[in-house]
Each structure stands twice: as C-alpha cells, then as structure tokens.
A and B are shown apart, each in its own frame.
Chain A
Amino acid sequence: DVKVTQSSRYLVKRTGEKVFLECVQDMDHENMFWYRQDPGLGLRLIYFSYDVKMKEKGDIPEGYSVSREKKERFSLILESASTNQTSMYLCASSWARHTQYFGPGTRLTVL
C-alpha cells in the first residue's frame, strides 16, 4: 500500500514565525503535491514537485515556498506565518499521471 506521512497532525504557531511542514512517501513517486483545504472551497493546489529540486507553482502559491532535496520528502515552508494561513494542509504523491494518494493532513493554526 502507498503510504504518505506528514510530520504533524496539529500545529499551533504565532504570526511571523517560520513554519515547516514535512511530507514523506515510501512509493518512489516522482510527483508530490501540497494542497490547502478550507471549508466550502475544497482543496486548492499550492505547489507541486515533479522531481528532486524541481517545483512548480500551483493555484495559490503566494506566501509559501517548497523544498525537495530527496525524492521521498517534500517540505512546505511558510516564511512568515499569517493568520490567513490557518488551514488544513494535505500532502499527496503520484507516479507520473496516475492517481494521487494523500497523507493524513496537518491542521495548522496561526495565532
């Protein structure tokens, strides 16, 4: 079975802090994704990566950056967290153009 894990289930940070969200997959997938989930809006793509050190912006990249130093690990970085970044963050991975598999999510609260 595909396994996608995220480093924290719940995280509370203060405005202005630098925040790292980590995601690891164990299926040697090339593609990895970060989504944000807000009530009534579904999931929106923040960034994705198609290879080590390669990344592309999704639909809502403002205020975020990403890092992929190893194939299995994809990090989402909030350089200076703001209250409007309070949300559920979901990581996913896929092999080429195949199905995306999701992690359990990190619920981030920015105070």
Chain B
Amino acid sequence: GEDVEQSLFLSVREGDSSVINCTYTDSSSTYLYWYKQEPGAGLQLLTYIFSNMDMKQDQRLTVLLNKKDKHLSLRIADTQTGDSAIYFCAESFASGGYNKLIFGAGTRLAVHP
C-alpha cells in the first residue's frame, strides 16, 4: 500500500541550510508536495514537483526528486526563525476525479540562533 515516511525532528542554526527528507512507496505518484504548518494553523502549500522532474527551485527552496530511490527532499537555504514549523511531504496520485494525497507524519523544524 501507499506509505510516506519522514524523520520527525530537525534542528538547525539560523542562517544554515535545512534539508528535510521524505521517502514514498507508490511509483504511480503524479505530484509530490511540500506543505508547511505553523503552530496552531492549517497547511500552507509550499511547493510541489511533477513526478517526471528531478529538481525544482523557488527562491530559497529547492526540491530534489530521486524517482529510482523514491526519495524527495526539501532544502531551505539561509534558514530563518520564521521557517520554524512542521513540514509535511505528500504524494498524490489520480483516484477518480481528484488527486488522492498520502501524507507523511511531518518533520518539525526548529531554528535556533
């Protein structure tokens, strides 16, 4: 069945790069997503990558996709305290008229001075 795994916690120093990793099992995924959740808030779409791409860059964010190993990573350059949040990886695949999302448990990123 489908499964998405992430490490639960990451601590980085302000100004360093953060790398959050994710592995997934379903090779029929169409898109892979990164969502950010700040304390007490809902999920905010951060970025996504189509499954036939290897990399996507968007300002401080770089997404790398290794389809062979079913590994997805999110790199945040120059990490700031405002980046402290939970980051969810999700794989999606077509299921009827919508994209079904399978989420990982989330990685809590803590940024310290």
Contacts and interface: CB of A to CB of B under 8 A. Distances in A.
B103 A31 contact: no
Main secondary structure of the interface of B (DSSP, over half): strand
Interface string B7-25: 0100000000000000000
Interface string A83-99: 00000001010101111
Nearest to B33: A99
B7 to A, nearest CB: 12
Given A40-B105, A42-B103, A50 B43 contact: no
B98 A99 contact: no
| Interface size range of chain B in the complex | 20 to 34
Nearest to A4: B42
A64 interface: no
B97 A42 contact: no
Contacts of A99: 31, 33, 45, 48, 99
Interface string A24-53: 000000110000000011111100101000
Contacts of B48: 99
17 contacts: A6-B42, A40-B8, A40-B105, A41-B105, A42-B105, A43-B88, A43-B90, A45-B100, A92-B43, A94-B98, A97-B30, A97-B94, A97-B99, A99-B33, A100-B99, A101-B45, A105-B42
A94 B106 CA distance: 22
Interface residues of A, number: 28
A102 B86 CA distance: 15
Contacts of A105: 40-42
B44 A102 contact: yes
A102 B43 contact: yes
Interface in B25-50: 30-31, 33, 35, 40-45, 48
